[in-house]
Amino acid sequence: MNWRDESRLKDDQPSSLPRKTHAAAAESEGRHTGRRITWLCFAVLLGAAAILCGCKSKPQNAAQPPLQVQMVQATMRDVPVNGDWIATLDGYVNAQIQPQVTGYLIKQLYSEGSYVRKDQVLFQIDPQTFQANLDLAKAQLAQAEAKLALTEINVKRDTPLAQQHAIAQSQLDSEVAEQRQTAATVQASEATVRQAQINLNFTHVRSLTDGIAGIATTQMGNLVAPGTALTAVSKVDPIKVYFAISEQEYMRFASGPQVATKISEQKRSKDLELQLELADGTLYPHKGKVIFTDRQIDPQTGTIKLVAAFANPGNILRPGQFGRVHAATAVNRSAVLVPQRCVTELQGTYQVAVVGAGNKVTVRNVKLGQRVGSQWIIESGLNAGEQVISEGNAKVRDGMIVNPTLAKMEGNE
């Protein structure tokens, strides 16, 4: 019997392993199969994730083109140094309208807020009492004049008689004295008549100047007296503008931007043109002139008050308004200027982005000076002729390479 027969005999013999061993083997084989399937799925998912990550990272790793920006050139020129001060407007003449006699107010003869002329009647006070006083004064004057006429007749008649010693000289002297006394009474009566006439005229309360009449502060029917405020009239063309400047500014203001001459400080300050900025930010179209300067500097504030006059056709400006006064007090020689849009602020510091060789950006801190229209004066940190980014400066960083183009300058730049 060969080995094949022996093997066949072994296969024909019943197995001696118990049934539990066959079940455990089958279960183990199932677990191994499940693990293989799990690992296969995991490998597939891992490969897909790697493919997706590779697709997403590919554009990031690609080279970005240089940022497109616009730039302007820093310029240099002589710039007037302008002072800027808070201003208060007031009438050129402010007349307080008050009665000069006591009486009851019976009429208001003007429209509040309207333009009135000098000597125009604004209020009427009851004139009856004053008319009666005038009539009485005139009657007393007539009596005095009649008595004077009689004394003149007596003196004229008795003078030749006294010369002829027909009457006593003392009688003529008494008549002459009476004539003089009566003449004085006539003069006093005439003054009383004039005073009564003036008081009667004062029952018509008139404007003391041309200007805008304010709101009436007293109602009709009230008893008014000298000192009672009825209204106010303000002459507003021209209109006064008050503003206070520091001692240092005053020295520049007194010398002015013009060539120094031997003319006085007062004359030089009056020659300066003032620009008025109104509360809404608009510039008043008419220029003003300083009309006088206060006599001293206030020791508490270190300022001195100046008063200017501005033409006010149409009475647009009114007393009590606020504004700002601008004036050229000096000249900043060879100032470096850039448009305001070139300057960015970061935590209280000001920066500009300068385009240098190879279009490389350098971010610099600068010190700002005065604003001139739509431009800033750069006191330090930038030189004239350097190229400064005007559009896109918020996106650039120090050391970045950019693709600059020259920006079109505006008319006021």
**Terminal Cα distance for the chain, rounded:** 118
Domain of residue 299: give its range: 82-89+235-332
Share of the chain above pLDDT 90, in %: 51
Note the pLDDT tens digit of each residue in 53-65: 555 544 454 567 8
Residues 35 and 146 in one domain: no
Q: What is the average pLDDT across 308-333?
A: 89
Both 313 and 349 in one domain: the answer is no
Band (pLDDT 50/70/90 cuts) for residue 395 is confident
Give percent of the chain with pLDDT exceeding 70: 79
- How many domains does the chain fold into? 4
- CA pair distance 365, 391, nearest whole angstrom: 18
Point out the domain boundary residue: 313, 332, 351. Answer: 332
Confidence band (pLDDT; 50, 70, 90) for 93?
very high
The tens digit of pLDDT for each residue in 155-189 reads: 899 888 888 888 888 888 888 899 999 999 999 99
| 205 and 113 assigned to the same domain | yes
In a domain, 229, yes or no: no
- Last residue in a domain, options 290, 305, 332: 332
Let me know if residue 218 belongs to a domain: yes
The per-residue pLDDT of the chain, averaged, comes to 83
Q: What is the pLDDT of residue 114?
A: 92
**Does residue 358 sit in the same domain as residue 401?**
yes
327 and 339 co-located in one domain: no
The reported pLDDT for the residue numbered 42 is 61
Cis (ω within 30 of 0) for the bond into 238?
yes
- Which CATH number characterizes residue 158's domain? 1.10.287.470
pLDDT over 90 at 21, yes or no: no
What is the sign, positive or negative, of the torsion defined by CA atoms of 262, 249, 285, 239? negative
Q: Between 284 and 257, name the one with better pLDDT.
A: 284
User: pLDDT at residue 22 above 60?
Assistant: no
Determine the pLDDT at residue 258.
Answer: 45
Average pLDDT over residues 132-161: 92
The predicted pLDDT at position 241 comes to 96
Q: What is the pLDDT of residues 97-116, one digit of tens each?
A: 999 999 999 999 999 999 99
Amino acid type, 370: Q
pTM, entire model: 0.58
Residue 19 pLDDT level (bands cut at 50, 70, 90):
very low
Report the candidate in 66, 153, 127 with the shortest Cα–Cα distance to residue 358.
66
- Average pLDDT (290-313) is 92
Question: Looking at the structure, do residues 297 and 185 belong to the same domain, yes or no?
Answer: no
Check residue 267 and give its pLDDT: 53
Any domain includes 412? no
Is residue 35 scored above 80 in pLDDT?
Answer: no
Per the domain annotation, does 123 fall within a domain? yes
Domain contains 158: yes
Residue 323 shares a structural domain with residue 363: no
Residues 106 and 203 in one domain: yes
Residue 129 resides in a domain: yes
* Residue range 47-55: mean pLDDT, rounded: 55
Please indicate, yes or no, whether residues 245 and 299 belong to a single structural domain of this protein: yes
Q: Does 219 share its domain with 101?
A: yes
- Supply the pLDDT for residue 1: 45
Predicted confidence band at 225 (pLDDT cuts at 50, 70, 90)? very high
Same domain, 355 and 385: yes
50 and 151 both lie in a single domain: no
Alpha carbons within 13 angstroms on the beta-carbon side of residue 335 total: 21
Are 390 and 339 a contacting pair, CB within 8 Å? yes
Supply the pLDDT for residue 17.
42
Query: Residues 6 or more apart from 125 whose CB is under 8 A from it?
Result: 99, 101, 103, 104, 105, 106, 202, 203, 204, 205, 224
Query: What value does the mean pLDDT take over residues 223-246?
Result: 94
